[in-house]
Structure 1
Amino acid sequence: MRVGATAPVSALLALAILGVLCGFGTPGGTGAQDEDEGAARAVGTASPPASAPAVPVPRSPREPVITSNFPDPVVIRHGAGYYAYATNDRGVRLPMATARSPGGPWRRVDSDGLPSLGPWAADGRTWAPEVTPGSGGILLLYYTAQHRDSGRQCIGVATSPAPLGPFRPVGDDPLVCPAARADAIDAAAFTDTDGNRYLLYKSDGHGSGHPAAIYLQPLSADGLRTAGTPRRILVRDPRVDPTLVEAPALVKRGDRYVLFYSAGVFFDSSYRTGYATADRITGPYTRGPAPLMTTEGYDGNLIGPGGADVFSDGSGDHIAFHGIVEFHGGERVTRAMYVARLAWAGDRPVVDGSPVRYEARRARRYGAAVEFDVFAAAAGEHRIRIGYAARAGGPVRHEVAVNGTRAAEATSTTDTGKQDVAEVKTRLRTGWNTVRLRPLAGSAQIAYVEVVGWVG
């Protein structure tokens, strides 16, 4: 559940496991993005305060851009700057931050973007906001809060002419508030290429027998009213989704809809980001071959990556998400905000800094050599891990060639017969690359290669 404010100070957990993302199919993506309103969210002419430096800070996508508690972030591009919004924190219903570039520096704003709630809502449980362009130059805020009468979490709407608010609630009742003891949380707006507006949200029945699922609700043209019956588009699959599904974010790439979502428990390392794709906005949605971001995929250095949002800088996409940086006991955690480059291998997302695994069964063989097509979200130095299923006869060495040029040698080290991993660093170009492994010494069966962007 995307929930709650937290207190400061504790220590990072450290886990050490290899990444888990699976391979892609036939290469053909270029890394270029088609912009649409649901992904780009670029409106208006306002800018961040003049105190925000204009020079972006070089940084790793594995390091937070906001180190204090800023969970469930949503980012919009507005005028010449960027604005971020988060779940309530230390009495502030709508925390906000500004920057002049996606990578920052990000600075928190010393004001509450939502100074009052709708009359239906009780204070203290405002979660997972969504901000998106409305009609006539206004901005729409969809916020989750506790319904005074039922105690359920429901979704309301508010408006503002400026990105720093104040956002003013619209109407006396919530926009979305399911019956049968079900909650509605984690609102996400999407405007399709035909102009139709939708609101996505997560709902379950908390013991009423309804599974955790993501719903698609049609909206009126101004985004202030519902316009039809919600449709359930993704239900938790216990075989691949730990605990629940929530935190939707929808974009369209070409003719395909890509639905990002979180699964697991927000206050531990099980929390992760997955994705699913469909030909129609109503589905059916097919999950990707593996999660997009996990604690294990980040080698335990980034814990519980989730609550993701996609936005554009006009030349390409970025993904904003949170990760746990401090544990305080029970459900109390501090979740920092991260931003990473997001690229597209066809309709499949690739996050810079999160590993992608390519299984050997998809590789091409040329005699003793094995050739993989791998995708890089951004040009630069990458780590290439070679996973060996089994070896015989001592250490194994492979020549690693990238795009036809010899780049490095990889050497395994463990005892004969054991599984092993060798790792090298090499430069990749943005988009598709060809990696060829040619044996130089020893004998081994290659199980996979894994590509990790950003070496720092």
Structure 2
Amino acid sequence: MHQAAARAARTYTNPVYAGQFPDPFVLRHQGRYYAFGTTGQGRTSDGRIFTLLTSTNLVDWKNAGGALTPPAGAEGADFWAPEVVYHNGTFYMYYSIGGGAIGASVGHRLHVATSKTPEGPYQQVGLLDVPDSKFTIDAHPYRDTDGQWYLFYARDFIDSNDGYRPGTGLVVDRLVNMTSLAGESRTVMRARHDWTVFEKNRTMPLYNNQTFKEWHTLEGPFVRKHNGKYYCFYSGANFLTPRYGVDYCVANSILGPYSDAGAEKGPRVLHAVDGHVRGPGHHSHVLSSDGKTEYLVYHAWDKSMKERQLCIDKLAWTAQGPRCQGPSYTPQPLPS
């Protein structure tokens, strides 16, 4: 009995946080983990935006309230997909806002907030405008090995040039400073495979109610440099469907060109398990406390599809490319 209890104590089972926690991002700072999740139009118990959890082991999470102080005009607006980085004594949070008084006339837009502590509260300080897009979401800041910061994000494309399909795709731009884009965005990857379709015959009010035969989605970019190459991970397809999962494209340079060769048939890194896991994705990467073992932190639907819950699984770099050792739904070894 004691041996069985000891074994159970050394394992975890997904979800590691059973509450609603979409689009999870985890920051590792000074031995602690801080997880930030989308609240949409909702507010946390302290009236803030973005649910904040803390942990020392990636498995046992405590609710720490909310992270972002609501900016002026926030009533009725959607706040999505926060990510946080630490730079020169300040924590910077990147996210998007759409709708409500703050975003009614401009569509979904990227914003940035700052705090002197990882848990906040964060105060909004600026807009990261992308004038040629009415829909910009899922900001991911990345610092290259030379110290230069870049911002990857998702935005809409309504053309079908060069064989690409209309829908949300991925781009990158240089950050002039932590709160300003250079305005030199480059396309990282656009949809070109059947599995990434979000919806067929979709009418889009943002684009004068134009109806698209197929609307595709690539979202949630997250970049890792491995063995000299840049891997831009992303989630593809409709988050409500079994097709939703995580794939990647790869380049020799931070600005590309990126290739998704091998992604034709479906997501290779993380995908649904029929009867057990639905909609795994919109992930971030984090190291366990040993500083070496890499985990994917992602959301997946509960059985009734009422909540997207926080899950973690190891990432392996294989000869075929990066692969998640999941999504798991049975006991797994605790992160070391």
- The bucket for the TM-score relative to the shorter chain is 0.7 to 0.9
Tell me what 1:440 maps to. Answer: none
1:262 is aligned to 2:235: yes
Moved over 6 A (4+): 206-209
The separation in 2 between residues aligned to 1:351 and 1:336, in whole angstroms, is 17
Shift of 1:108: 1.7
Contact 2:270 2:326 in 1 (8 A): no
The separation in 2 between residues aligned to 1:276 and 1:248, in whole angstroms, is 10
Kindly report which structure 2 residues correspond to 1:365-384, keeping only aligned pairs within 5 A, or say none.
none
TM-score (norm 2): 0.78
Kindly report which structure 2 residues correspond to 1:395-434, keeping only aligned pairs within 5 A, or say none.
none
Tell me what 1:176 maps to. Answer: 129
Shift of 1:120: 7.1
Tell me the amino acid that sits aligned with residue 241 of structure 1. Answer: T
Contact 2:97 2:103 in 1 (8 A): no
Match of residue 116, structure 2, among 155, 161, 179: 161
Tell me what 1:112 maps to. Answer: 66
Name stretches of at least 5 consecutive residues in structure 1 with no aligned partner. Answer: 1-55, 356-451
Kindly report which structure 2 residues correspond to 1:80-159, keeping only aligned pairs within 5 A, or say none.
80-88=31-39, 90-92=42-44, 93-102=49-58, 104-109=59-64, 111-117=65-71, 119=72, 123-134=76-87, 136-146=88-98, 147-159=102-114
Tell me what 1:192 maps to. Answer: 144
Contact 1:326 1:335 in 2 (8 A): no
Q: Structure 1 or 2: larger helix share?
A: 2
Shift of 1:151: 4.4
Q: 1:282 to 1:86 in 2, by over 3 A?
A: same
Q: 1:287 to 1:453 in 2, by over 3 A?
A: farther
Tell me what 2:221 maps to. Answer: 248
Kindly report which structure 2 residues correspond to 1:268-279, keeping only aligned pairs within 5 A, or say none.
268-279=241-252
- Range moving further from structure 2, 196-205 or 147-156: 147-156
Q: Which secondary structure state, in structure 2, belongs to the residue aligned with residue 95 of structure 1? A: strand
Q: Which secondary structure state, in structure 2, belongs to the residue aligned with residue 189 of structure 1? A: strand
The separation in 1 between residues aligned to 2:114 and 2:277, in whole angstroms, is 34
Q: Which secondary structure state, in structure 1, belongs to the residue aligned with residue 302 of structure 2? A: strand
- Cα deviation 1:138-162 (Å, max 9, x = unaligned): 1100011124352401010001111
- Cα deviation 1:246-305 (Å, max 9, x = unaligned): 11111101210111111111223221111111111122222253521111xx24311111
Contact 1:275 1:288 in 2 (8 A): no
Q: 1:348 to 1:336 in 2, by over 3 A?
A: same
Tell me what 1:308 maps to. Answer: 283
- Cα deviation 1:29-81 (Å, max 9, x = unaligned): xxxxxxxxxxxxxxxxxxxxxxxxxxx86214xx1111111000000101121
Contact 1:258 1:347 in 2 (8 A): no
* Higher radius of gyration, 1 or 2: 1
Contact 2:24 2:283 in 1 (8 A): yes
Tell me what 2:175 maps to. Answer: 219
1:281 is aligned to 2:254: yes
Tell me the amino acid that sits aligned with residue 153 of structure 1. Answer: H
Tell me what 1:397 maps to. Answer: none
Kindly report which structure 2 residues correspond to 1:195-210, keeping only aligned pairs within 5 A, or say none.
195-205=147-157
- Cα deviation 1:165-224 (Å, max 9, x = unaligned): 0001113xx2134335x200011111000111011111115799954210101102x411
1:70 is aligned to 2:28: no
Q: Percent identity?
A: 29
**How many correspondences in the alignment?**
288
Q: 1:57 to 1:84 in 2, by over 3 A?
A: farther
Tell me what 2:313 maps to. Answer: 340
- Range moving further from structure 2, 270-279 or 343-352: 343-352
1:324 is aligned to 2:314: no
Tell me what 2:202 maps to. Answer: none
Name stretches of at least 5 consecutive residues in structure 2 with no aligned partner. Answer: 1-8, 199-216
Q: 1:288 to 1:82 in 2, by over 3 A?
A: farther
Shift of 1:354: 4.7
1:293 is aligned to 2:270: yes
Tell me the amino acid that sits aligned with residue 236 of structure 1. Answer: A
The separation in 1 between residues aligned to 2:55 and 2:331, in whole angstroms, is 24
Q: Which secondary structure state, in structure 2, belongs to the residue aligned with residue 152 of structure 1? A: coil
Q: 1:347 to 1:121 in 2, by over 3 A?
A: farther
The separation in 2 between residues aligned to 1:124 and 1:148, in whole angstroms, is 7
TM-score (norm 1): 0.59
Contact 1:91 1:124 in 2 (8 A): no
- Cα deviation 1:331-360 (Å, max 9, x = unaligned): xx41001111112125821212359xxxxx
The separation in 1 between residues aligned to 2:157 and 2:236, in whole angstroms, is 17
Shift of 1:326: 4.7
CA RMSD in angstroms, aligned pairs only: 2.6
Tell me the amino acid that sits aligned with residue 321 of structure 2. Answer: R
Tell me the amino acid that sits aligned with residue 17 of structure 2. Answer: I
